[in-house]
Structure 1
Amino acid sequence: MGVLSKPLPLEIWMLIVKLLKPNTKANAKALRALSRCCRALALPSQRVLFNDLHIPRTCTVLPSRRAGALARLKDAFTRSPHLATFVRRVCYVIEDPDSDSENTTLHWILNQLTGNLSGVQVEYISKTPSAPYLDWDTLDARLRSSIMHTVQAPRLESLSLLWIKNLPLSGLVSLSPDLTRVKLEVKIQQESVERSESLNSNGTPRRMDPTQNNKRRLPQIMDFQYYDHDMDGVLASRPFVFDFEQLQFLQISWGNELQCAMGKELIKASSKLEGLACKSIAGLAKAMLDCSSEHSLTTLAIRLSHETASQTVPDPDEYDLFLGFIEELEFLAGKNAVKYLMVHFDTTKEAHDRLTSCLSRFDEVITREAFPHLEHFELEIWVHYSEPYYVPHGSRLEDSWAERNRAQCRGVSAIPGLKFGCQVEIMLKCDL
Structure 2
Amino acid sequence: MAVLSRPLPLEIWMKIVELHKSDKHTLRALSRCCRSLAPLCQRILFNDLRIPRLYPSWPSDRAYALARLEDAFTQSPHLAAFVRSVFYVIEDEDGENTSVHWILGQLKHLTDAEVHYVPKELNTRLDWGALDMRLCSSIMHVIQSPNLRCLTLTRIKNMPSSLFRILASSLAILTLDDVEVEEESSSSCLPDSEVASGPVQSRIPQIKHLYFYDRDTAERGSRGVLCSRPFIFDFKELGFLHISWGNERESALAKELMKTASKLKGASFQVDSPLKTTAGVAQAILDYCLDDLTVLTFGLSHRMPTSQRPVDNDPFLGLAEEFQLLSGRNKVKFLSIHFHIPSGHLNGLTFCLSRLDDAIADAFPHLEHFDLQIWVYFLRMRGRKLAFDLEALADEWTDRNRLQFQKSCRIPGLRFDCRVHILDA
Which of the five TM-score ranges fits, normalised by the shorter chain? Answer: 0.7 to 0.9
For the structure 1 residues 351 and 64, does the alpha-carbon distance in structure 2 shift closer, same or farther, using more than 3 Å as the test?
closer
Report whether the alignment pairs 1:224 with 2:218: no
- Match of 2:363, SS? coil
Match of 1:105 among 80, 99, 110: 99
Which residue of structure 2 aligns with residue 265 of structure 1?
256
Which residue of structure 2 aligns with residue 381 of structure 1?
374
For the structure 1 residues 150 and 320, does the alpha-carbon distance in structure 2 shift closer, same or farther, using more than 3 Å as the test?
same
Contact 2:166 2:201 in 1 (8 A): no
Which residue of structure 2 aligns with residue 183 of structure 1?
175
Structure 1 stretches of 4+ with a deviation exceeding 6 A read 309-315
Structure 2: segments with no counterpart, 5+ residues: 187-199, 217-221, 272-277
Which residue of structure 1 aligns with residue 289 of structure 2?
292
Match of 1:328 among 322, 333, 339: 322
Deviation at 1:423, TM superposition (A): 1.8
Deviation at 1:76, TM superposition (A): 2.1
- Match of 1:232, SS? coil
Deviations 1:142-189 (A, max 9, x none): 111101100110000001112222222222221110011111113313
CA RMSD of superposed structures (Å): 2.8
Deviations 1:120-144 (A, max 9, x none): 011122333x244222233211111
Deviations 1:288-343 (A, max 9, x none): 011010x211111111233647999999xx53222111110011111111111111
What count of residue pairs does the alignment treat as equivalent? 395
- Match of 1:53, SS? strand
For the structure 1 residues 69 and 272, does the alpha-carbon distance in structure 2 shift closer, same or farther, using more than 3 Å as the test?
same
Q: Which moved more, 1:343-352 or 1:397-406?
A: 343-352
Match of 2:360 among 358, 363, 366: 366
**Alignment partners' CA distance in 1, 2:11 and 2:213:** 47
Within 5 A, what are the aligned runs for 1:194-343? 216-229=202-215, 232-280=223-271, 281-293=278-290, 295-306=291-302, 308=304, 318-343=312-337
Contact 2:214 2:244 in 1 (8 A): yes
Contact 1:314 1:351 in 2 (8 A): no
Which residue of structure 2 aligns with residue 54 of structure 1?
50
Q: Which moved more, 1:119-128 or 1:143-152?
A: 119-128
Deviations 1:243-290 (A, max 9, x none): 111111111111122222211111121121111111232101110011
- Match of 1:360, SS? helix
- Match of 1:410, SS? coil
Q: Which moved more, 1:251-260 or 1:154-163?
A: 251-260
- Match of 2:316, SS? coil
For the structure 1 residues 46 and 391, does the alpha-carbon distance in structure 2 shift closer, same or farther, using more than 3 Å as the test?
farther
Contact 2:161 2:184 in 1 (8 A): no
Which residue of structure 1 aligns with residue 195 of structure 2?
none
Deviation at 1:363, TM superposition (A): 3.3
**Alignment partners' CA distance in 1, 2:64 and 2:341:** 44
Which residue of structure 1 aligns with residue 396 of structure 2?
400
Q: Which amino acid aligns with 1:176?
A: A
Match of 2:414 among 391, 415, 418: 418
Q: Which moved more, 1:130-139 or 1:295-304?
A: 130-139
Which residue of structure 1 aligns with residue 15 of structure 2?
15
**Alignment partners' CA distance in 1, 2:306 and 2:128:** 35
**Alignment partners' CA distance in 1, 2:18 and 2:152:** 26
For the structure 1 residues 397 and 313, does the alpha-carbon distance in structure 2 shift closer, same or farther, using more than 3 Å as the test?
farther
Q: TM-score, normalised by structure 1?
A: 0.83
**Alignment partners' CA distance in 1, 2:314 and 2:248:** 20
For the structure 1 residues 309 and 154, does the alpha-carbon distance in structure 2 shift closer, same or farther, using more than 3 Å as the test?
closer
**Alignment partners' CA distance in 2, 1:44 and 1:234:** 39
Match of 1:151 among 137, 143, 147: 143
- Match of 2:339, SS? strand
For the structure 1 residues 256 and 69, does the alpha-carbon distance in structure 2 shift closer, same or farther, using more than 3 Å as the test?
closer
Contact 2:169 2:204 in 1 (8 A): yes
Which residue of structure 1 aligns with residue 76 of structure 2?
80
Q: Percent identity?
A: 50
**Alignment partners' CA distance in 2, 1:58 and 1:422:** 35
Which residue of structure 2 aligns with residue 121 of structure 1?
114
- Match of 1:362, SS? helix
Q: Which amino acid aligns with 1:12?
A: I
